[in-house]
Copies of this chain bind each other. A is one copy, B any other.
């Protein structure tokens, strides 16, 4: 973890930004919740535990900065809020998401999957792809297994959406 923070710090410095205490606390929260898809508010509340004096606007600005530096990705699942997702180091493509319409959980797919599709799009539409967003909506494996039971909640990877 310290090494990743160190690398992010270098990345900031290389563009003459500083890793202030507030920014570091924010990055730590993101690293500690790598599996989740936190909203700005979520991040704010978690950062407050480490650095109670931080302001919400600072969190927003930090997330925006990290987004510009491609340390995090800003995503939107259609509920009202933006969520922020740490990029896997060395990942040159953005990962995909599986959103369960039953329980609201969000799982990630790290595999590429789109290589061939992107080739087709670049060629047939003459479109130079820089990034992509792919989200599948459906029923997750957990909700399928319990078909018949009434258990509506799962313990892990739950990111409930309004």
Chain A residues within 8 Å of B, Cβ to Cβ = 74, 76, 78, 82, 98, 101, 107, 109, 113-114, 116-118, 120-121, 125-141, 144
Whether the Cβ atoms of A78 and B76 lie closer than 8 Å is: yes
The 28 listed contacts between A and B (C-beta, < 8 Å) are: A74-B78, A78-B82, A98-B125, A98-B127, A101-B130, A107-B125, A109-B121, A113-B120, A113-B121, A117-B117, A125-B141, A127-B138, A127-B139, A127-B140, A128-B144, A129-B137, A129-B138, A130-B138, A130-B139, A131-B136, A131-B138, A132-B134, A132-B135, A132-B136, A133-B133, A133-B134, A133-B137, A134-B135
Where chain A touches its partner, the secondary structure class is: strand
Residue among A82, A118, A137, A144 with max Cβ neighbours from chain B (10 Å):
A137
